[in-house]
């Protein structure tokens, strides 16, 4: 019932319903190699200027991350770099330095249930933001790891919200949760990312009290895809999947203004996705 009430409030959102806030942007992007996408990422940051950017698949250990990302004048960086296996997985966060004036210093961490450098966290006061890159899960061991990570993520979100925190989880989940989240041409029974257990794991995450805010804001849009196969014409014809998502606690859902998929940015096989909300200060 709480989720239904929250969705209703999201649709009726007015920014003047709240007290003192700042307009706050959080982006997530599976960059598919920070070295290969260095110039595109620098340009995208300069053009879009998100307050926080979560990155997935950086595919580099700390020594191989391009120095430009440690020298950005407007951002602090925190990495869960590719120590498990060179050139594989890896995640990170870029946070605007100016946020410290209104929100204080973020507390960066890597949850205990992290595996293969796939999760990062940033906490601002009573708000915890988590970026995740779950395994695709084509092989049996990675399929089990995927389900385990989603289960642990659900428990983490429950614990945080029970302690009074607002929670935002974003990233590449490698699951198209519903039939609307995958183009019909890609919708094959028991395909990786569409299997019942994977979708049920997202169901449990939402049942913990989180809102799929993109779907809440745009319930009838079945073309909000964020990833496309490398097949010829797949991206041009929008034959994609929505697997890069924002799941937020009810209080943050009611403060959300919009979610946008930047389909113009095509340097990776994933598009950046940005959430805009009114953040209490």
> Catalytic site residues?
133, 172, 270
270 marked as part of a ligand binding site = yes
Which residue(s) pair with 119 in the sheet?
A: 132
Closest CA to 72 of 105, 92, 94: 94
Contact in structure between 209 and 159 (CB atoms under 8 Å): no
Say if residue 172 carries a ligand binding annotation: yes
Determine the Cα–Cα distance for residues 198 and 52; give it in Å rounded to an integer. 28
Spell out where the chain has E strands.
Answer: 21-30, 52-56, 75-80, 91-96, 107-109, 119-124, 127-133, 166-172, 211-212, 244-248, 256-261, 273-280
Dig out the tokens for 115 from the structure: 């595996």
Cβ-contact 150, 171 below 8 angstroms: no
Per the CB < 8 A criterion, the answer to whether 126 and 138 are in contact is: no
> Is 174 among the annotated ligand-binding positions?
yes
Cα 126 from Cα 252, distance rounded (Å)? 12
Please, how many CA atoms are within 13 Å of residue 7, restricted to the half-sphere of its CB?
Answer: 17
Binding residues for Mg(2+): 30, 57, 172, 174, 269-270
Binding residues: 30, 57, 172, 174, 269-270
């Amino acid at each position: 019932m709480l989720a239904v009430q929250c969705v209703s409030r999201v649709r009726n959102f007015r920014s003047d319903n709240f007290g003192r806030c700042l307009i706050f942007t959080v982006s997530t992007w599976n960059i598919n190699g920070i070295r290969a996408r260095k110039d595109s990422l620098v340009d995208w940051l300069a053009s879009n200027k998100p307050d926080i950017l979560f990155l997935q698949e950086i595919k580099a250990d700390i020594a191989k991350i391009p120095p430009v990302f440690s020298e950005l004048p407007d951002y602090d960086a925190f990495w869960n770099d590719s120590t498990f296996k060179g050139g594989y997985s890896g995640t990170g966060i870029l946070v605007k330095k100016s946020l410290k004036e209104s929100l204080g210093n973020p507390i960066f961490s890597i949850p205990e249930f992290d595996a293969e450098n796939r999760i990062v966290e940033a906490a601002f006061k009573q708000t915890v933001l988590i970026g995740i890159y779950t395994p695709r899960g084509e092989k049996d061991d990675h399929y089990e790891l995927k389900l385990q990570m989603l289960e642990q993520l659900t428990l983490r979100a429950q614990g945080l919200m029970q302690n009074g925190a607002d929670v935002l989880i974003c990233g590449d989940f490698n699951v198209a949760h519903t039939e609307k989240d995958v183009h019909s041409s890609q919708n094959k029974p028991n395909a990786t990312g569409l299997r019942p257990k994977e979708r049920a794991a997202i169901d449990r995450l939402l049942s913990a009290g989180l809102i799929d805010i993109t779907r809440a804001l745009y319930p009838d849009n079945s073309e909000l895809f964020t990833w496309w196969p490398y097949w010829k014409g797949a991206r041009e014809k929008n034959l994609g999947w929505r697997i890069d998502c924002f799941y937020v606690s009810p209080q943050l859902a009611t403060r959300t203004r919009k979610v946008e998929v930047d389909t113009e940015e095509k340097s990776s096989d994933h598009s950046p996705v940005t959430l805009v909300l009114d953040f209490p200060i």
